């Protein structure tokens, strides 16, 4: 086993532990590094996660790797990068912009400041009509 492989295993385990400490189901994939198309971290977040620890970032090479693996798994690619010198529980996270938008929209705590006035009007009307309909259904 090479030093790079050992280093990769250490950081994959640290990432899985960090994700679990934040309440996510995550484990290091035992077949990680063997040309597996599942990513490095098995998880319940609909993500194919690749973990990289480095001195120098090879972003496009790594992104192509995780993007391909995600397409095979039919979920979203997510790249976690730990650069030498960062603290142990710190990574840069790279996602496709469309995936990031969907995650942000799914977060109930994120308020969207702009809404299409026509859509807002239609939703308010539908909400009010539903409220009236529900009153008639109360027994």
What pLDDT digit, counting tens, does each position of 113-134 carry?
656 777 777 877 788 888 778 8
CA distances, 29 to each of 18, 53, 55, 75 (Å) = 15, 16, 23, 16
The sheet that has 26-28: what strands, in order across it?
26-28, 41-43, 47-54, 76-83, 92-95
pTM for the full model?
A: 0.71
Nearest to 17 by CA among 109, 80, 59: 80
Is the pLDDT score of 139 beyond 50?
Answer: no
Query: Which tens digits make up the pLDDT trace of 50-83?
Result: 999 999 999 999 999 999 999 998 999 999 999 9
Choose between 2 and 26: higher pLDDT.
Answer: 26
CATH of the domain spanning 3-113, picked from 3.40.710.10, 3.20.20.60, 3.90.950.20, 3.40.1350.10? 3.40.1350.10
Instruction: Yes or no: say if 93 and 80 are a contact pair by the CB < 8 Å rule.
Output: yes
Is the pLDDT score of 110 beyond 70?
Answer: no
């Amino acid at each position: 086993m090479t030093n790079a492989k050992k280093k990769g295993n250490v950081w994959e385990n640290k990432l899985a532990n960090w994700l679990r400490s934040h309440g996510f189901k995550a484990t290091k994939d035992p077949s990680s590094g063997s040309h597996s198309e599942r990513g490095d971290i098995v998880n319940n977040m609909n993500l194919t996660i690749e973990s990289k620890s480095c001195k120098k970032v090879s972003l496009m090479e790594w992104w192509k790797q995780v993007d391909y693996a995600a397409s095979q798994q039919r979920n979203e690619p997510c790249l976690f990068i730990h650069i030498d010198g960062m603290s142990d529980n710190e990574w840069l996270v790279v996602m496709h912009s469309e995936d990031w938008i969907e995650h942000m929209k799914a977060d109930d705590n994120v308020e969207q400041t702009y809404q299409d006035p026509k859509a807002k009007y239609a939703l308010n009307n539908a909400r009010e009509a539903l409220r009236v309909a529900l009153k008639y259904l109360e027994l």
